[in-house]
Amino acid sequence: MITSAFLNIIFVVLSFLIGLLPNIQTTGAFTTAITTASGYLSTLYSFIPFIVSTLLAIIVFDLVFESGYMIFKVVYWVIRRFPTQS
Amino acid sequence: MKWRKYQLFFLLSVAVLLCTFCFGVKNSLANTISSNGVFTYNNTSCLEDIGIIYAQNSCFANGIGCLISLETATSTVGIYGIASPASLNGEMYNYFYGTPLKPIPVFNECTVNLYEANLPSGLYHIRSFSPFPYLFDDYFSVTNQVFDSTPNTRIDSFTYSTTTNKARVQGYINATTTSGITERLQFHQFSSLLGIESFKEVIATTTGLFDLSFDFLGLPTPYTSTTTAPFIADTTLFARIYQYDNNYATDPFSGVFDSRYKTLLVSTTTTITQLTGINISTSTRELFAYPEYECSITSLTGCFKNALIWAFYPTKDGVEQYYSFISLIENKAPIGYFFMARDSIQGLNKDGTPSTNITIPYSIKYYIFSPFDIGIAGILWFFFLFNFYKRLKFITI
């Protein structure tokens, strides 16, 4: 009961705060854009597969690498905020 | 002048007779489609007798490629293929006009697999690219029967009945004539409660379609209806066709199993889910039930356990709030857009439906686009590695 009450309080508060944010616009335009891009990608892939694969691999690698580096820097910055004895 | 007219008439007559003769000879070499859907020119030296290949043989020599069109006797179906000059035994490259159909694999210069081409029924015409197509053209017919008798080992249907507790497997199996090699259909059922049961094996003795039934056990049900323990009652039926090769088997000295002994050819499964009884859960969240121990004068430990559980064990409703909260976040800006982008990007793939069909002759692709593709991709990788190295130099930890 204690754990349930604790979870209940947390989620009620968080849900109230999150509920203040505006709803996302689900017009489907983004999905349509991705589907269209997928069609173009398939067209290109049919006759230049290596170039398409290379570009996608480089983009994905860059995104993953830079995201990981940014997260590392943020976590490192937060850790440094904690006071130490030294 | 008169003599020249007769001479012209004479030459034309000879030409007509020659064409008629050749056309007749061609028809006498009428080829048929075997029951397995493979169309093979009925001679071993098709390069000489089949005009389409013979006429294009010089193309192979020149590295240009050979154009093959398939069309009905009255209208063009719209399938064109180019046989690779470098891979006579490889897959024929195809590009399509109109309705896209599956590519036509060419196993050698004489054989076309019509089953895999998935051509509709009708009379087809292999047209040569020569200046005298009639001398070399050939016709063949395709019937639906062709597509029903592929020799590939397969399982067409896998059904079951919970009233008779029988599973029915239909398909095609090959009885190989090679010594020590057999194809075997194996059936069994598996449940997390009882493991593997009802194992049966049928060794193929004849090649052809099969229709077999196997008994399986009904779903286990609780003995009492008062249990509070949640359980999942389902069982999965498996039908698999293996190829066994006794030439390998298990090493008699070391006892090590040789993976070449047993090759899985076809596999299919179906799950029977029939929930009966009470407190039956189908998901992990549902399994978050409230445990309760016996509490009496003879088992006071259970009372203490129940007290601690009441105090600290989160109820199912408490856990459910977490999932509700996640659903709420997914529908709120700005985090919701991240989830939307993630779901959409997961649908991004190179195998989607192309927005436009760009058809390139094989020879152009083989000699121009492929080297260009590989070359540019190599340059891109080089630049990527170069710039990534420069980026690493500015990384500070």
Residues B64 and B137 in one domain: yes
The token pair that represents B104 in the structure block: 């036509």
Q: Does residue B239 or residue B138 have the better pLDDT? A: B239
Distance from CA of B356 to the nearest CA of A (A): 6
A67 interface with B at CB cutoff 8 Å:
no
pLDDT at B36: 41
Is residue B98 in some structural domain?
yes
Residue contact A38–B384, C-beta within 8 A: no
Residues B164 and B179 in one domain: yes
Using DSSP's 3-state secondary structure scheme, residue B241 falls into strand
Q: In a 10 Å sphere around its CB, with 0-12 CB exposed, 13-18 middle and 19+ buried, how is residue B237 labelled? A: buried
Residue contact A34–B328, C-beta within 8 A: no
Confidence of residue B81 (pLDDT cuts 50, 70, 90): very low
Amino acid at A19: G
Residue contact A21–B332, C-beta within 8 A: yes
Residues B245 and B174 in one domain: yes
Average pLDDT on A55-83 reads 90
pLDDT at B66: 37
Average pLDDT on B287-316 reads 80
- B349: chain A residues, CB-CB within 8 Å: 38, 41-42
pLDDT at A72: 92
Residues B159 and B268 in one domain: yes
pLDDT over 60 at B177, yes or no: yes
- A16: chain B residues, CB-CB within 8 Å: none
Q: Which of B308, B309, B344 to mutate to test the interface with A (most CBs of A within 10 A)?
A: B344
Total domains in the fold of chain B: 3
Q: Does residue B137 or residue B275 have the better pLDDT? A: B275
**Which of residues B147, B180, B213 is at a domain's end?**
B147
**What is the domain range of residue B142?**
31-147
A32 interface with B at CB cutoff 8 Å:
no
- B312: chain A residues, CB-CB within 8 Å: 1-3
Closest C-alpha to B178, from B244, B259, B100, B239: B244
Average pLDDT on B179-188 reads 89
pLDDT digits (tens, 9 = 90+) for B231-248: 555 788 999 999 888 777
pLDDT over 80 at B389, yes or no: yes
DSSP state for residue B258 in the 8-state scheme? P
Closest CA in chain B for residue A62: B388
pLDDT digits (tens, 9 = 90+) for B150-161: 457 888 889 888
Residues B201 and B221 in one domain: yes
pLDDT at B240: 92
A70 interface with B at CB cutoff 8 Å:
no
Residues B257 and B318 in one domain: no
* Cα(B348)–Cα(B344) distance, integer angstroms: 7
- B313: chain A residues, CB-CB within 8 Å: 3
pLDDT digits (tens, 9 = 90+) for B5-20: 666 655 656 555 444 4
The token pair that represents B216 in the structure block: 């399986």
Confidence of residue B221 (pLDDT cuts 50, 70, 90): low
Q: Does residue B356 or residue B38 have the better pLDDT? A: B356
Residues B175 and B121 in one domain: no
Residue contact B355–A18, C-beta within 8 A: no
pLDDT at A62: 93
pLDDT over 80 at B390, yes or no: yes
* Cα(B201)–Cα(B194) distance, integer angstroms: 20
pLDDT over 90 at B386, yes or no: yes
The token pair that represents B3 in the structure block: 């003599």
pTM of the entire structure? 0.34
Percent of chain B with pLDDT over 70: 49
A85 interface with B at CB cutoff 8 Å:
no
Is residue B381 in some structural domain?
no
Range of lowest pLDDT (A17-31, B100-114, B325-339) = B100-114
- B321: chain A residues, CB-CB within 8 Å: 7-8, 11
For chains A and B, CB pairs below 8 A equal 129
Range of lowest pLDDT (A17-21, B53-57, B134-138, B200-204) = B53-57
pLDDT over 60 at B286, yes or no: no
Residue B190: which CATH number?
2.60.40.10
Distance from CA of A30 to the nearest CA of B (A): 7
pLDDT at B195: 81
Is residue B1 in some structural domain?
no
**Which of residues B93, B116, B147 is at a domain's end?**
B147
Which phi and psi angles does B95 have, rounded to 5°?
A: -135, 160
Q: Radius of gyration over alpha carbons of chain B, in Å? A: 34
Residue contact B344–A47, C-beta within 8 A: no
The token pair that represents A23 in the structure block: 């709803």
